[in-house]
């Protein structure tokens, strides 16, 4: 068994009407994240280290040997990554990508394990969307529980929805 990853850059797609300079910034950031993940997995880093590298890269904190983030905010907004290594170890991470438009005191789904992010020995989940709905439904944990207790694949769960 080899390694695998899933990487997403936000709740939704990159709009076609997004100005080219912003579209290119988001796409190049996602490509750079993919390169970081591939290099890390090929270097036998743990899945937890891999997903952390993606979240760290997209945050306003500058990383050694990487250009600073323009305007001090995340390059792509919400980012998520799940990884599995060749031994079957899993990890997931999600970040909302900064403080832009965040209401003071609001806690979203990202820091609440089991809501938007969850990993166990059966699967790793990182999801984004409407945070309140994700919190209410504990989406990530439910996906993992359906795999663990009912043996449902992701495809079968998708059909159920």
Catalytic annotation on 138?
Answer: no
CA torsion 38→40→46→50, rounded to 10°? -70
Q: Is 23 annotated as a binding residue?
A: no
What pLDDT is attached to residue 128? 77
Domains recognised in the chain with CATH numbers = 4-160 (3.60.20)
Find residue 5's DSSP bridge partners: 83
Q: Is the pTM of this model over 0.85?
A: no
Contacts of the segment 44-53: beta carbons below 8 A, 24+ positions apart: 44/85, 46/85, 46/89, 46/91, 47/83, 47/84, 47/85, 47/89, 47/90, 47/91, 47/124, 48/91, 50/5, 50/81, 50/83, 50/91, 51/81, 51/82, 51/83, 51/91, 51/92, 51/93, 51/126, 52/93
pLDDT digits (tens, 9 = 90+) for 42-79: 999 999 999 999 888 877 644 445 555 554 445 566 78
Q: Is 109 annotated as a binding residue?
A: yes
DSSP for residue 10 = S
Q: For residue range 83-136, list pLDDT tens digits in order.
A: 999 899 999 998 876 555 566 777 676 677 788 889 998 889 988 777 778 888
According to the annotation, is 131 in a ligand binding site? yes
**From 58, 78, 94, 138, the catalytic residue:** 78
Binding residue per annotation — 151?
no
Q: Please state, in angstroms and as integers, the Cα–Cα distance from residue 118 to each residue in 14, 43, 50, following that order.
A: 25, 24, 15
pLDDT at residue 8 is higher than 60: yes
């Amino acid at each position: 068994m080899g390694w695998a990853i899933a990487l997403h850059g936000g709740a939704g797609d990159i709009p076609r009407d997004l100005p080219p300079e912003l579209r290119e910034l988001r796409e190049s950031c996602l490509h750079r994240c993919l390169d970081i993940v591939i290099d890390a997995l090929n270097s036998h880093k743990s899945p937890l280290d891999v997903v952390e590298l993606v979240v760290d890269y997209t945050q306003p904190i500058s990383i050694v040997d990487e250009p600073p983030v323009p305007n001090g905010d995340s390059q792509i907004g919400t980012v998520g990554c799940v990884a599995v290594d060749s031994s079957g170890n899993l990890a997931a991470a999600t970040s909302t990508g900064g403080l832009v438009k965040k209401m003071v005191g609001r806690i979203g789904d990202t820091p609440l394990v089991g809501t938007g992010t969850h990993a166990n020995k059966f699967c790793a989940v990182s999801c984004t969307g409407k945070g309140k709905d994700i919190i209410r439904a504990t989406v990530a944990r439910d996906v993992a529980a359906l795999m663990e207790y009912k043996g449902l694949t992701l495809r079968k769960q998708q059909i159920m929805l």
